[in-house]
Amino acid sequence: MTLALSAADRAALIARHRAAIDGSLRTRLVTIAVIAGLAGLFLYGVASLEASLWKILAGFANLGSFVALMLPPDPGSLARAVIFVKALFETIAIAFLGTVLAAALAFPLGFLAARNVVANRVVHFFARRSLDTVRGVDALIWALIWINVVGLGPFAGMLAIMTSDLGAFGKLFSEAIEAADRKPVEGVASVGGGRAHEIRFGLIPQVLPVIASQVLYYIESNTRSSTIIGIVGAGGIGLHLAETIRTLEWQQVSFLILLILAAVTAIDFLSNRLRFAIIGKRAN
């Protein structure tokens, strides 16, 4: 009897919520349209870019010849090696200073862009759209802009990294603030704390480890980005990399690539240990 009633209840439940289970016609049409649009975009990209598997397979032979020309890695002379190492540290300095300055500027902007901090929709809208505008321009474009403003050199590269990361950090910081638990904030308010106290003692202790972890990751990522912007004249090791490629000094190219890989690996190791220390986990 119980089984019969359970089956009847199940049938009644299915019948009552048939629309939710089967889905509406509109939902189905939207899903089909999205899938068809993505498939069409993929096919258009393959056709317009003239993508060819045979070109890739044929290019492996050329890749092998390039690798043979790059071995063994050789800076050319001790003086050149010293110049390359100095340029590497310049690249690291560009990435570090640009990232730290961007984080410092984006920290207050993140609170302005967070819905749970700024209730004014106008302020929130303009803060969000401003960050989107800055983030929408690539670091390479910012490098070209700053080169025309302050001239060639690492200072332009640092400003490019700072400007590019300002928008990204503002968005990430605001999302971390919006995802924070409300209970500590309510606890501060319950004992008579003002709005500033709620932010200082309720929000910042929660989001600071997340923000620090994001900054450490971006320092590592920007070490690679600083290499790219150096190619357009924004200082660092990228300038030497572009010159050696232009002059077909492939052994020096491989030496520079190894320097960059070594720097990124070292920064990744250090940032991981610092990140685990900040969030309270033990590194392996």
Residue pLDDT, tens place only, 1-15: 444 456 666 667 666
Indicate the pLDDT class of residue 19, thresholds 50, 70 and 90.
low
Give the Cβ contact number of residue 42 at 10 Å: 10
Give SS3 for 153. Answer: coil
pTM assigned to the model: 0.73
Residue 26 confidence (pLDDT) above 80: no
Ordered domains of the chain (ranges, CATH): 75-279 (1.10.3720.10)
- Contact call for residues 147 and 204 (beta carbons, < 8 A): no
- When mean pLDDT is compared across 174-178, 199-203, 227-231, the lowest value belongs to 199-203
Tokens representing residue 43 in the block:
């096919």
For residue 202, the 8-state DSSP code is I
Indicate the pLDDT class of residue 187, thresholds 50, 70 and 90.
confident
Q: How far is CA 228 from CA 89, 149, 240, in A?
A: 15, 19, 11
Please spell the DSSP secondary structure of 45-66, one letter per residue: HHHHTT--HHHHHHHHHHHHHH
Which pLDDT belongs to residue 179? Answer: 80
Backbone CA torsion sign across 69, 73, 78, 84: positive
- When mean pLDDT is compared across 192-196, 210-214, 264-268, the lowest value belongs to 192-196
Which pLDDT belongs to residue 284? Answer: 47
